[in-house]
Structure 1
């Protein structure tokens, strides 16, 4: 096995064909259909691909209501030229099986509804339209050498593509796994105190306890 850096090595291209919720999975997940192509006709045995999935907030326009939702994340809108930096969504490892010409692989993306995480908070704040994303690729390409041996070459670090994911895909995924609910991160002491308050009030759920406490706060 060798490492080939000469001309004639596979030159991979990438394109996102679409995204969709994954309806039946052990954990909340959506999927991206990624087309991998090699236009020079080189046969590829396998690609061990690593993808860094980023959100690029500066590449979208926002109405006043959405700007208000995003103040907690980016600060005052007049500072957004500085503060709307890239957000890390996920790091993905994908095995691309053997192909010649092109192939399509499904890339699963775990969906987290913890609104303390910047990516989830950003996606939750968008009412509709598209979320501007970028996929940055690296990894190893395994392919046959001219003498029949195995050659390995790195995926170049400059391999990146933009992808505008429909916000509806994220919202449908969240609604499927968390219908009409949301998640809030609490410190363990706060959660324990809330549990005690729920028991003292004879309520069945934490949601009922929070609703009752909020009602009392508004009356005050």
Structure 2
């Protein structure tokens, strides 16, 4: 079996992708300089929130994910960030490849809420690898990539924000049920509001009045 080692040497946002995308630079090393004909990889990316400190404002924004700070000793559990597949061309000894990871700005997704809550610093990520290696000096030897292969990454939070700003500058996204969308559209039409932003601002502006009446 060919021994493989993985490391992440950097991460950046892709300004030319169709949607928000992070690009991880991976270094893959085959033990003893072995020849690898191809590598079919699967990579699970997890956020490990317990591996960084948080300011007061960050803690308040993260309360809906982890509860009160006094409970964080038991609630700062890993968060699934993404799962991607990657086909690595043949190499001998060591190679470096780029792994594109599409991101969502859906605030219903825990990873997005976590990342949006950060003021800065680094995001502690763990990359977990599996898949199949096709190797051997002659012919093909097919072996699984062991589940214990992983790489630790400390991604600057600014890299994720850059990816979002390139596609959704100054904006966020909310996912709403279809019937609620129909009601909002009807409200917008009745009040001749020019945009969804104006619709939400109109509704927020009415809230204090309604609370005062109650």
| Unmatched segments (≥5 aa) in structure 1 | 1-8
User: Equivalent residue for 1:3?
Assistant: none
Q: How many angstroms apart in 1 are the aligned matches of 2:133 and 2:108?
A: 37
Q: How many angstroms apart in 1 are the aligned matches of 2:124 and 2:27?
A: 19
Query: How many residues of Structure 1 are paired with residues of Structure 2 in the alignment?
Result: 210
Q: How many angstroms apart in 1 are the aligned matches of 2:128 and 2:69?
A: 28
Are positions 1:159 and 2:159 aligned together?
A: no
Range with greater deviation from structure 2 (153-162 or 68-77): 153-162
The answer as to whether partners of 2:106 and 2:174 remain within 8 angstroms in 1 is yes
Q: How many angstroms apart in 1 are the aligned matches of 2:47 and 2:159?
A: 15
Q: In the TM superposition, what is the alpha-carbon distance from 1:27 to its structure 2 partner?
A: 2.4
- Compute the RMSD of aligned alpha carbons: 1.2
User: Equivalent residue for 2:28?
Assistant: 36
TM-score when normalising by structure 1: 0.92
Moved runs in structure 1, 4+ residues, more than 3 A?
none
Q: How many angstroms apart in 1 are the aligned matches of 2:31 and 2:132?
A: 18
TM-score when normalising by structure 2: 0.94
Q: How many angstroms apart in 2 are the aligned matches of 1:56 and 1:182?
A: 24
Are positions 1:106 and 2:98 aligned together?
A: yes
SS in 2 for 1:123: helix
| Unmatched segments (≥5 aa) in structure 2 | none
- Equivalence map 1:77-116=2 (5 Å): 77-116=69-108
User: Equivalent residue for 1:65?
Assistant: 57
Are positions 1:52 and 2:38 aligned together?
A: no
